[in-house]
Amino acid sequence: MVTGASGLLGSWLVRRLVERGADVVCLVRDWAPQSEVVVSGLLSRVRVVRGDVRDSLLLERVLGEYEVDSVFHLAAQTIVGIANANPLSTFETNIGGTWAVLEACRRSPKVRAIVCASSDKAYGSSHGSAYTEDMPLRGIHPYDVSKSCADLLAASYAQSFGSPVVITRCGNLFGGGDLNWNRLVPGTIRSVLKGQRPVIRSDGQYVRDYLYVEDAADAYTCAAHAVATRPELAGEAFNFANDERLTVLQIVERILKQMRSDLEPVVRNEALNEIRLQTMSSAKAKHRLGWSPRFDMAEGLERTIAWYTQHVRRQRDERVS
C-alpha cells in the first residue's frame, strides 16, 4: 500500500513497484487529474482506495482485505508556506496520519515492512554540520516539528511494539510530476518555459541537499526490502541525498543554463520560518543498505526539464483543441 500515491514521490514509487510486478494498493484523498500517476495511466494498473490517511478504520480494512505486506507511508502536507499559514491541518495530517498508519499496521499481522517518510527538516538547524542519523530531532517551525514528531512516532512503534518500520529522511526532492509551482525547481522551469523571470522567495543563499525523485523511489524500495529481510533494522533511520550542497541561487542558475535561458531571477527575500543551512550525509544508507543515487544533479535536472517541457506542451495542445 502506498499512501500519498498522487504526490511527486508517490507517483514515481508506484511506477517502480508496478514495473517490479507488485500488486499495489494506492490510498488517494483528493483526485489530482494532472498528477503523474493519473496522466501516465498508472492508476489503471493498481487498486485505488479513496480516503483520508487519518481514517484508522479505513486503513485497517484496506490492509486486511488486500492482504498488504508492505506499506509506504508518504501522505503528508509538504509545503512549508502552508504549514506556516495553517499549522493545524499540517499537524493533523503529518502527525495524526502517521500514528493512524502505524497503529493500523500494528493490528495487521501480515505487514512485514513499513517505510515512513520523514525529512531532513526533522533535524532542525544543524549549525553548519552535515546531518547524520544519530543527531537529535529538533524541529522548531511547524512543518519541521510535524516531521520530527512523525519520525519519533515511527521509532516508538518499532521499539515498543516491534513494528517493522524504517524511517527515510530525504533531501529536497525534485523531478517531473511535481505540480506545486511554488516549489523552487518546478516553479523555475515553468517560468522559463513561459518566458518569465523565475522568482526566488528567499535571498537565494539558503543551502540544501537535493535528491532526484527516481533515486528516492529506489531508496524506498531498497529500505522496504531491507527491513523485511533484516528485522534488526526496525526503528532505524536513513538519510538519502546526492551529497551535493547547493544554494537556491545555484540551483536556479543551473536550470537557466541547462535551458539555455538568459533570464535573470527575481530575488524577493521573503522566506519565513525556514532553516538556512541543511546538508546531510548518506553514508549510512550506502554502507548498510547498499544504496547510491543513479543520477547526478545535471542528469536529474535534464530529465526533470524534459518532463515539464512535455507537460506544458501537452497543456497548450489541449487548450488549442
> How many other C-beta atoms are found inside a 10 Å radius of the C-beta of residue 160?
10
Catalytic residues: 143
What is the per-residue pLDDT across 254-288, written as a single tens digit (0 to 9) for each? Answer: 999 999 999 999 998 887 777 788 889 999 999 99
Specify the pLDDT at position 228: 97
Q: Phi first, then psi: what are they for 74, rounded to 5°?
A: -115, -15
pLDDT digits (tens, 9 = 90+) for 128-158: 789 999 999 999 999 999 999 999 999 999 9
Domain boundaries, the chain: 2-176+209-243+279-295
Sequence-distant (≥ 6) Cβ neighbours of residue 294 within 8 angstroms: 214, 215, 218
Residue 36: the pLDDT is 80
The pLDDT assigned to 321 comes to: 66
Q: What residues form DSSP beta bridges with 208?
A: 246
Q: Which residues of the chain carry a pLDDT beneath 50?
A: none
Nearest to 220 by CA among 48, 40, 66, 4: 4
- CATH class, domain 2-176+209-243+279-295, is alpha beta
Residue 223, pLDDT score? 98
Structure confidence at residue 11 (pLDDT): 93
**Whole-Å CA distances, 153 to 9, 148, 159, 161:** 21, 9, 10, 11
